[in-house]
Amino acid sequence: MFDISDMPIESLRSEERLMMPGQLLARGVCRHLASHGFSVIEEFTPERGKRLDVMALGPKGQLWVIECKSSRVDFTSDAKWPGYLEWGDRYFWAVDQDFPTELLPDDTGLILADGYDAEILRMGPETRLAGARRNAVIRRFAAHAARRLQALRDPEAGLEG
Amino acid sequence: MFDISDMPIESLRSEERLMMPGQLLARGVCRHLASHGFSVIEEFTPERGKRLDVMALGPKGQLWVIECKSSRVDFTSDAKWPGYLEWGDRYFWAVDQDFPTELLPDDTGLILADGYDAEILRMGPETRLAGARRNAVIRRFAAHAARRLQALRDPEAGLEG
Name the DSSP class of A123. Answer: P
The whole-chain average pLDDT of chain A stands at: 91
Q: Over pLDDT 70: what percentage of chain A?
A: 89
Extents of the domains making up chain B:
4-128
Distance (Å, whole) CA B30 – CA A35: 30
Indicate if ipTM > 0.90. no
- Does the CB of A1 have a partner CB in chain B at under 8 Å? no
The residue in chain A having the minimum alpha-carbon distance to the alpha carbon of residue B28 is: A157
Count CB pairs under 8 A between chains A and B.
90
Pairing of strands B63-69, B90-95: parallel
As a whole number, mean pLDDT of residues A68-75 equals 95
* Residue of A11 and A43 predicted with greater confidence: A43
As a whole number, mean pLDDT of residues B40-68 equals 96
Note the pLDDT of residue B159.
75
- Does the CB of A140 have a partner CB in chain B at under 8 Å? no
B73, B99 in Cβ contact below 8 A? Answer: no
pTM score, whole prediction = 0.89
Reply yes or no on whether the pLDDT at A3 is more than 90.
Answer: no
Q: What is the pLDDT of residues A95-136, one digit of tens each?
A: 999 999 999 999 999 999 999 999 999 998 999 999 999 999
Q: What is the pLDDT of residues B96-127, one digit of tens each?
A: 999 999 999 999 999 999 999 999 999 989 99
Helix spans in B14-160 (H): 14-17, 21-35, 72-76, 131-153
Note the pLDDT of residue B19.
86
Q: How many CA atoms lie within 13 A of B82 on its CB side?
A: 3
Binning pLDDT at 50, 70 and 90, where does residue A161 land?
very low
Name the DSSP class of A125. Answer: P
Q: Over pLDDT 70: what percentage of chain B?
A: 89
Distance (Å, whole) CA A5 – CA A114: 9
Distance (Å, whole) CA B151 – CA B43: 15
A146–B57: do the CB atoms touch at under 8 Å? yes
How does A120-154 read in b/e, with b if 16+ C-beta sit within 10 Å? beeebeeeebeeeebbebbbbbbbbbbbbbbbebb
Report which secondary-structure segment, H or E, holds B78. none
B58, B92 in Cβ contact below 8 A? Answer: no
CATH class of the domain comprising B4-128: alpha beta
- Does the CB of A114 have a partner CB in chain B at under 8 Å? no
A154–B40: do the CB atoms touch at under 8 Å? no
- Does the CB of B23 have a partner CB in chain A at under 8 Å? no
A 63-82 near B (Cβ less than 8 A): none
Nearest Cβ partner for B139 among A27, A138, A153:
A138
